[in-house]
């Protein structure tokens, strides 16, 4: 057990160091036009050139690839972090729903851009629409007498229907291109997109750290939380809004179709081998990072899209966790 905890501690430490390194890159790229930041950024790229020479690749000397990897690293942390609460609340489908809602936002932004010449951030539009969709799901769930997953299914199909109608309407207009948003792309990640993901990731990690006990309480016993006068509606809304934020950020790499995978698969793998909720949280983040790094290794080596490669890597880790688990059902502690 001590060896296991040591391995988890080392893994979390390495993940933290990697995240700090990627945050540093994003910050240097943002400030590269100001004094010493530009020199440090050039040194970062120079180091990437040496990595390419040593590894025989043509990847790490390009700023857009570091930007993409940084965004994926952030996703590998925050998606399992939020997904752990969703999976244990049997709300795994919500990620797919909000991805389709964000797709409608992108479709609206693309159509608006094509018809008016607006050149603002489509990611920001998707974020706003995704958050509004999250609030809409929460509102429907609180005010209908149907089963819990019915409002989610309605929002999932409805938002995707709106998105397809907007795309079909704007098909003949120049500038309407949705494929990269559907399937994700390493080259799609913009400077603004990586910066936004960095800021949102810091925000999500901070919120989860500050509200860990409250979110844990409503996850395992919502009725008791209400009796204890905890504002359950507020924390439910907070969780679903964080989910929308993660989905929009992850859509850059994974695309609408695959984005929900990183909310669910690392958590499912962690649940097979963890002995407590806290350990599930830790292991899901570690498995998320292994999925990201393994997926990018596959993508770079074989010239494949990173999104699909990351999800396949996550599934392999999940299967290994199943075969490596000593029990068929997890007896999960809330400690």
CATH label, 2-30+62-324, candidates 3.40.50.450, 1.10.3470.10, 3.30.390.10, 3.60.150.10: 1.10.3470.10
Q: ∠276-7-318 over CA atoms, to 5°?
A: 60
Tokens at 47, concatenated: 């180091």
315 phi and psi angles, rounded to 5 deg = -65, -40
Name the residue with higher pLDDT: 150 or 270: 270
What's the CA gap between 171 and 321, in Å, rounded? 44
Q: Residue 206's pLDDT is what?
A: 95
pLDDT digits (tens, 9 = 90+) for 313-322: 999 999 999 9
Q: Residue 171's pLDDT is what?
A: 64
Q: Does residue 138 contact residue 240 with C-beta atoms inside 8 Å?
A: yes
Residue 330 pLDDT exceeds 60: no
In the structure, what pLDDT confidence band is assigned to residue 333 with cuts at 50, 70 and 90? low
Residue 332 pLDDT exceeds 60: no
Q: For the chain, how many helices (H) and strands (E)?
A: 14, 0
Residue 285 pLDDT exceeds 90: yes
Residues across the chain: 335
How do the domains of the chain map onto residue ranges?
Answer: 2-30+62-324
pLDDT digits (tens, 9 = 90+) for 74-114: 999 999 999 999 998 888 778 888 888 888 888 888 777 77
**CA of residue 222 relative to chain centroid, distance:** 25
What's the CA gap between 149 and 183, in Å, rounded? 26
pLDDT digits (tens, 9 = 90+) for 257-276: 788 889 999 999 999 998 88
Q: Does residue 89 contact residue 267 with C-beta atoms inside 8 Å?
A: no
Residue 138 pLDDT exceeds 70: yes
Element (H, E) at 36: helix 36-55
pTM, to two decimals: 0.88
Residue 215 pLDDT exceeds 60: yes
DSSP 190-227: -HHHHHHHHHHHHHHHHHHHHSHHHHHHHHH-HHHHHH
Q: Is 140 exposed, middle or buried (0-12, 13-18, 19+ CB in 10 A)?
A: middle
Beta strands of the chain (E only): which ranges?
A: none
In the structure, what pLDDT confidence band is assigned to residue 282 with cuts at 50, 70 and 90? very high
Tokens at 78, concatenated: 């925050």
Mean pLDDT score of the chain, rounded to an integer? 84
Element (H, E) at 131: helix 122-143
Residue 59's beta-bridge partner residues? none
């Amino acid at each position: 057990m001590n060896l296991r905890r040591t391995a988890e501690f080392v893994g979390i430490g390495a993940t933290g160091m990697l995240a700090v390194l990627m945050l540093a890159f994003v910050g240097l790229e943002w400030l590269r036009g100001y004094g010493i930041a530009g020199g440090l950024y050039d040194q970062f790229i120079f180091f990437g050139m040496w990595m390419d020479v040593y590894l025989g690749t043509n990847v790490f000397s390009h700023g857009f690839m570091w930007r993409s990897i940084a965004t994926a690293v952030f996703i590998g942390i925050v998606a399992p972090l939020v997904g752990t609460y969703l999976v244990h609340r049997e709300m795994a489908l919500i990620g797919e729903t909000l991805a389709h809602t964000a797709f409608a936002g992108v479709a609206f932004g693309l159509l608006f851009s094509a018809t008016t010449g607006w050149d603002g951030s489509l990611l920001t539009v998707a974020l706003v629409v995704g958050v509004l969709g999250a609030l809409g799901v929460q509102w429907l769930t609180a005010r209908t007498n149907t089963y819990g997953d019915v409002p989610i299914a309605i929002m999932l199909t409805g938002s995707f229907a709106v998105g397809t109608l907007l795309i079909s309407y704007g098909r003949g207009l120049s500038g309407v291109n949705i494929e990269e948003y559907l399937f994700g792309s390493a080259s799609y990640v913009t400077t603004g997109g990586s910066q936004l993901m960095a800021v949102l990731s810091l925000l999500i990690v901070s919120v989860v750290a500050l509200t860990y006990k409250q979110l844990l309480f409503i996850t395992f016993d919502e009725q008791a939380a209400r009796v204890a006068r905890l504002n359950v509606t507020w924390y439910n809304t907070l969780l679903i809004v964080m989910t929308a934020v993660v989905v929009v950020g992850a859509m850059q790499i994974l695309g609408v179709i695959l984005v929900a995978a990183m909310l669910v698969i690392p958590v499912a793998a962690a649940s097979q081998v963890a002995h407590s909720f806290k350990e599930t949280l830790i292991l899901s983040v570690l498995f998320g990072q292994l999925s990201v790094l393994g997926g990018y290794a596959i993508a770079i080596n074989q010239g494949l899209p990173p999104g699909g490669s990351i999800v396949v890597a996550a599934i392999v880790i999940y299967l290994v966790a199943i075969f490596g688990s000593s029990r068929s059902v997890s007896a999960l502690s809330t400690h």
